[in-house]
Chain A
Amino acid sequence: MGMTITEKILAAHAGKESVQPGDNIWVNADVLMTHDVCGPGTFAIFKKQFGENAKVWDRDKVVIIPDHFIFTKDTHANRNIDILRQFVKEQSLPHYFDVGTDNYKGVCHLALAQEGFNRPGDVLFGTDSHTSTSGAFGMFSTGIGNTDAAFILGTGQLWVKVPESMCFEFTGTLPEHVMAKDVILSVIGDIGVDGATYRAMEWRGDAIMKLSMEERMTLCNMAIEAGGKNGIIEADDVTLDYVRQRTDAPYKVYHSDDDAQYFFKKTYNASEMEPVVAKPHSPDNKAKVSECLDVKLDRAYIGSCTGGKTTDFMAAARLLKGRKVKIDTFIVPATREVEQDLHKKKLGGETLVDIFKNAGAYLGEPSCAACLGGPKDTFGRATDNQVVISTTNRNFPGRMGSKQSQVYLASPYTAAASALTGHITNPAEFINN
């Protein structure tokens, strides 16, 4: 019987010829990533279980990327960065991207890609649910807790239950004003916030393979919002071009077999997709943008691992160029590299930074920032009963900092169009004019 790409990668990392959904197997990790929120707890468990002087299983495979609570005066949050530094020093870890240095990166999921840690065929575990993002590179990647991360630090392995796979195929081409964010919000709306629990979400079809790596990352990023164990897209030339620019490390391209078994298969006609939002307070509370035009907004937020990549800001800039925002608009690049792109990349002779400033938007430093609320002094943190349109990934009650606020999740196009009008707006209005 054939295997899916997820099954093949897991089998290879368990030293097995084949695996089936439901098998419990011990899998070898190629990369373990952690950050400032979960690193300190992980290291404490590692020392308790393996000894104060224990060494990690493989220094080269541990990647530590502080990104969550960075630009804050919160003393506990800053203390956690010191704990990361101390552990890195004790263990002589080479892959640490320290706050306040030229080596600081920002949001871990994009930094992993940009620094060459995402490689087709690999297995990557991370102490963050959006670790599913890396699946865009044709690898198995999933989020874990501190205990599992500490176990990997000591052994290099973790038990994994092989997931069933779900196949989402998109044929044709997406309309110009529709982005990957609209695709993933549409799918989550279709299957629900637990529609892919324990399962792999595999993306296929012409419309998917026409997407850039950053757009593919958006799709895999939000697999967790449907409960998915991982999101995955087979590697192709687009993937390999990106990877070869970032690393010389070996990789292996896997393909799903024609006779692989899927728990669920659905084919969508990409050309019929429309801009959508997820209404408060759940990522599966889908509505077409055209159904929400009367929703008045207090602010727009463009940032995070989901919606703070260079392509996301290129999209926003296309609409904001030469116009003024009507509501407070926050621009938060995911990483330093994205931030540099904002200064380098131009539309019609104007840099993205200038486009945003001239439109009246506020620019923040690269980090997770207000996507998850964070300490009280976090840039862009929602207050009171604000209504926010955001390119982030979750709109649970209180997620962006205030329990009374209401968050609408949307694409960068839709967020930018809405920032210009002050109410939820179809980006087609601006793109087609």
Chain B
Amino acid sequence: MKKVIEGIAYVLGNDVDTDQIIPAEHLVYSLSDPEERKNYGKFAMSGVPPKQAGLPNGNIPFTENGQSESKYSIIIGGKNFGCGSSREHAPACMEIAGIRAVIAESYARIFYRNSVDGGFFIPFECATRLVEEVKTGDDLIIDLNADTITNRSSNKTYDLKSLGEVIEIIEAGNIFEYARKTGMIPR
């Protein structure tokens, strides 16, 4: 596992639900076809109400029109990030768009599980409400050894919560690799 994650921040608010992350009408594309899956990057975050998209100012699209990759690679969220449906298309579309980490105050349970078990990106929690501290476009660096995030645009560093018991799955890559490592399923 890489020990630092660097990237540009995209900031969202509380209760970002999976219908905002990827509206249901787009759930028809194949996640395994290399070309078709790019649609998920294209429509990632397309359901977020414009005023809430890219805080604090809003009205910032997550991906440029027609592009499947975003220039943002770290999402900052508030409480209950990823609430709503169990659609794994939600963390998948974020990974396809280039997201490598999310830092939220808290997560909805299924979204958190999907992120970890599918190995899409690392879902960190931070006791500080970073939504108020980080602006969309800020330059961030996450130090995985120190469990900290530094906002290089404001020169402030914040502690992240320990990943706890899921760290073994995250380090293995996903739930299948973890199960192979522990001998539960054959290599």
Contacts and interface: CB of A to CB of B under 8 A. Distances in A.
Interface residues of A, number: 51
Contacts of B29: 76
Contacts, number: 137
A49 to B, nearest CB: 5
Contacts of A148: 113-114, 117, 175
A364 interface: no
B5 interface: no
Interface stretch (A97-105, A112-120, A206-214, A371-379): A371-379
A373 B17 CA distance: 14
Nearest to B186: A50
Contacts of A198: 109
A403 B47 contact: yes
Given A44-B31, A375-B28, A145 B114 contact: yes
A401 interface: yes
A194 B106 contact: yes
B20 interface: yes
B49 interface: yes
How many chain B residues sit at the interface, stated as a range, is: 35 or more
A154 B49 contact: no
Contact of B85 (A129, A374, A376): A129
A305 to B, nearest CB: 12
Interface of A: 24, 26, 37-38, 40-41, 44, 48-50, 68-69, 74, 76-77, 79-80, 127-129, 131, 143-148, 151, 154-155, 159, 193-194, 197-198, 224, 227, 229, 282, 372-376, 394, 396-399, 401, 403
Interface of B: 15, 17, 19-20, 23-25, 27-32, 47-49, 79-80, 83-89, 91-92, 106, 108-110, 113-114, 117-118, 165, 174-176, 179, 184-185
26 contacts: A38-B87, A40-B31, A41-B30, A41-B32, A41-B92, A44-B30, A68-B24, A69-B28, A76-B29, A129-B84, A129-B86, A143-B110, A145-B86, A145-B114, A146-B88, A147-B114, A148-B113, A148-B117, A151-B176, A151-B179, A227-B83, A372-B24, A373-B24, A396-B19, A398-B23, A403-B49
